[in-house]
């Protein structure tokens, strides 16, 4: 054995011991390349999801039905942007710049949550995104507060603290519709019909089919499996729907006394794969929008930079 591999073995032991003892891995610590790559992929994907997620909701800012709903929606979307920013920052601790991550997104190499490739068609979709999409995200994020990479874990803790209002406002907005006129109630039910299944898909493939899950669980990057988290989401959401008189669009949904959980129908994984691979209803639109904003802002960023250089020169002079 060469001295180098001996060194690496020692570092690996040290790393694995930290993970085993539930200690956090910090940016300067030695970590296996595969770990670094996985945590970077997961964080950048999470960051992109927050930022791309601004679009379907942003679609309704100028049409929000009351001034109160308008400021709530704006504040919420602003939070999503902030969360993207926290996550980009956390990812940058691994030496990958935000520009590189965004470039990978534009090149189609980096993914984001597939749910944001569905269109927000009516006002009820805004309530539904808060209630279901943020609800599903929170289930996942609460679990990730204990993820083994320190900066990711801290970003999650911060994000969970802020996100709690997102789901509540979404449910509350949906509740008002469900208790409103027949048209409003129909609008809410239609939105639930469209968003329910994509929300379940947010947790990713079944554990048995998940490409990265096993290793991520071993590293404690992921703390609970896709199916466990999905079940938790279903169990908490079904009674919420019943409470406001909306019907979950799944004829196989029923309480399983024995398991103490809901049984639910089969997810359409073909649809999921279509959307993930870039062929969902809005994939191209979302990406194009992001690229356009980036390009439109180029001259602004250039101006900032040029001004700063001039300022520094003046200070030296």
d(CA 270, CA 137): 22
In the structure, how many helices (H) and strands (E) does the chain have?
Answer: 14, 2
Where in 244-303 is the site for other proteins (CB under 8 A)? 289, 293-303
Least distance from C-beta 238 to other proteins, angstroms? 25
186 binds other proteins (CB under 8 A): no
61 binds other proteins (CB under 8 A): yes
* 220 φψ region: left (φ > 0), alpha (ψ -120 to 50), beta (else): left
121 binds other proteins (CB under 8 A): no
- What phi and psi values does residue 63 have, to the nearest 5 degrees? -115, 10
65 binds other proteins (CB under 8 A): yes
* 47 φψ region: left (φ > 0), alpha (ψ -120 to 50), beta (else): alpha
Question: Binders of other proteins: how many residues, by CB under 8 A?
Answer: 68
35 binds other proteins (CB under 8 A): no
> Coil, strand or helix: which one is 254?
strand
70 binds other proteins (CB under 8 A): yes
Which residue, among 140, 134, 139, 143, has the nearest Cα to 163 in the 3D structure? 134
305 binds other proteins (CB under 8 A): yes
* 254 φψ region: left (φ > 0), alpha (ψ -120 to 50), beta (else): beta
Q: Where are the beta strands (DSSP E) in the chain?
A: 254-256, 261-263
46 binds other proteins (CB under 8 A): no
d(CA 113, CA 134): 12
133 binds other proteins (CB under 8 A): no
Q: Which range, of 138-146, 178-186, 222-230, 273-281, touches other proteins by CB under 8 A?
A: 178-186
Q: Which range, of 27-35, 205-213, 222-230, 268-276, touches other proteins by CB under 8 A?
A: 27-35
Least distance from C-beta 248 to other proteins, angstroms? 24
4 binds other proteins (CB under 8 A): no
Least distance from C-beta 229 to other proteins, angstroms? 25
d(CA 100, CA 130): 30
Q: Which range, of 34-42, 179-187, 193-201, 208-216, touches other proteins by CB under 8 A?
A: 179-187
Pick between residue 4 and residue 252 the one whose CB is nearest to other proteins: 4
Least distance from C-beta 237 to other proteins, angstroms? 23
Least distance from C-beta 194 to other proteins, angstroms? 18
d(CA 87, CA 149): 12
20 binds other proteins (CB under 8 A): no
Work out the number of other CB atoms within 10 angstroms of the CB of residue 7: 11
50 within 8 A of 102, measured Cβ to Cβ:
no
226 within 8 A of 206, measured Cβ to Cβ:
yes
Largest pairwise CA distance in the chain? 79
86 binds other proteins (CB under 8 A): yes
Question: Where on the chain is the footprint of other proteins (CB under 8 A)?
Answer: 26, 28-30, 51, 54-55, 58, 61-71, 74-75, 77-79, 81-82, 84-86, 88-90, 92, 97-99, 103, 123, 154-155, 158, 162, 173, 176-177, 180-181, 183-184, 289, 293-308, 310-311
């Amino acid at each position: 054995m060469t001295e180098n591999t001996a060194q690496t073995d020692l570092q690996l032991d040290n790393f694995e011991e930290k993970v085993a003892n539930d200690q956090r891995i910090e940016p300067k610590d030695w970590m296996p390349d595969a770990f670094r790559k996985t945590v970077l992929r997961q964080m950048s994907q999470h960051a992109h999801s927050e930022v791309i997620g601004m679009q379907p909701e942003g679609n309704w800012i100028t049409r929000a039905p009351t001034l109160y709903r308008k400021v709530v929606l704006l504040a919420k979307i602003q939070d999503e942007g902030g969360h993207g920013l926290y996550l980009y920052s956390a990812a940058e601790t691994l030496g990958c710049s935000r520009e590189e991550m965004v470039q990978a997104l534009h090149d189609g190499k980096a993914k984001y949550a597939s749910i944001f490739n569905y269109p927000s068609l009516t006002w009820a979709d805004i309530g539904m995104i808060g209630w279901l999409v943020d609800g599903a995200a929170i289930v996942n994020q609460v679990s990730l507060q204990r993820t083994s990479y320190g900066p990711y874990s801290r970003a999650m803790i911060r994000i969970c603290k802020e996100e709690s209002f997102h789901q509540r406002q979404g449910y509350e907005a949906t509740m008002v519709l469900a208790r409103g006129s027949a048209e409003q109630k129909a609008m809410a039910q239609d939105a639930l019909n469209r968003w329910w299944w994509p929300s379940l898909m947010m947790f990713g493939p079944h554990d048995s089919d998940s490409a990265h899950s096993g290793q991520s669980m071993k590293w404690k990057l992921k703390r609970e499996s896709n199916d466990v988290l999905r079940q938790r989401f279903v169990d908490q959401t079904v009674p919420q729907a019943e409470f406001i008189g909306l019907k979950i669009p799944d004829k196989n949904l029923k309480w399983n006394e024995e398991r103490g959980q809901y049984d639910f129908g089969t997810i359409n994984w073909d649809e999921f794969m279509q959307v993930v691979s870039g062929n969902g209803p809005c994939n191209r639109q979302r990406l194009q929008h992001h690229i356009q904003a980036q390009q439109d802002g180029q001259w602004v960023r250039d101006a900032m930079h040029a001004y700063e250089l001039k300022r520094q020169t003046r200070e030296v002079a």
